[in-house]
Amino acid sequence: MLSIVIPAHDEAPVIAATLEAVARATGGLGESVEVIVVDDASTDATAAIARAQGARVVQVDVRHIAGARNAGAAAASGDRLLFVDADTLVNRPALDAAMQALDAGAAGGGTAVRFMRPLPLHVRLFESASILLFRLFRITPGCFIFCSREAFDAAGGFDEGLYVAEDIALGRALARQGRLVILRTPVVTSARKMHTYSLAEKLGFTLRFLVSPRRIARTRDALPLWYGPRRHQKPGTPTAE
C-alpha cells in the first residue's frame, strides 16, 4: 500500500485542488492507496474539506511541519510513504516514477519542483537554479518526498528538532539507508512564499539564515516564510505581484 501524507495548517483555499490532483494521479490504484491529511491546528475549514474529498484526517496541535508529517506517518498503513505539501499538485508521471524507483530498490527520494505561473523573473531564475542544484546535491524538497516505510523508520523519520530543512535532513538520512533518487518529472507547487514577501524580505531572511542556519532552523519565530501569514495562490489563477 502507498500512504500519501499531506500536512496542513489553514489550507482551506487550496486543499481541495491538492486532493483532486492526488485522486487523478492515483486513479485506478483503488484500495492500494490511502490519503491522510494531517490537520495541524487549523482555524479554518481545512479538515472538513479534506473529509469531503474522501481523505482520512488526523488532528494534531503542534504547529510544526516535521511533527505533522511524523504524525501522518505514524497513522499510515502503507509500506510506502509519499509526503506531499498541501499546496502541491502531484501528477501520475511523477507518482509512477517514484514507485518505479522504489520497485528498483531505492530507499526514497524527491523530484523536480516548478512553481505555479505567473512568476516574476527573479523567481523563474530561482526555480531553474534550484532544480539544477537539487539534482546536483541530491536534495529532497519537502513538497514531494517518497520512501519505503522500512527506510523511513530506519532513518528515524523527520527531525522534530528542526522547524525548516527537515526535508533535506530526511533525504540525507534516507541516503544512509540506501539509494536516493531525485526524479526529473516535476510536480507543481504554489509560489505563495514568493508572492507574500518582497524580494528584499526574502534576501534578508536568506542572509540571516546563512549566518546562523542551525539556530534559525530550530526557532519557529525566526521563520516567517514557513510559519508566518501567507498570500494564497489558487491553482491556475494569476497572482498580482
Q: pLDDT value at position 123?
A: 72
Of 98, 116, 90, 125, the C-alpha closest to 20 is 90
- pLDDT per residue as tens digits for the range 21-31: 999 999 988 77
Helix spans in the chain (H): 15-25, 46-52, 65-75, 92-103, 121-137, 149-155, 166-175, 192-196, 199-211, 213-217, 224-227
Q: Looking up cell 519505503, which residue turns up?
A: 148
Q: pLDDT value at position 221?
A: 73
Q: Looking up cell 502507498, which residue turns up?
A: 2
The top-scoring range by mean pLDDT among 31-35, 97-101, 127-131, 222-226 is: 97-101
CA distance 24 to 129: 29
Q: pLDDT value at position 121?
A: 75
User: For the residues 28-54, what does the mean pLDDT come to?
Assistant: 95
CB 36 within 8 A of CB 55: yes
CA distance 2 to 180: 18
pTM of the model: 0.85
Q: pLDDT value at position 234?
A: 52
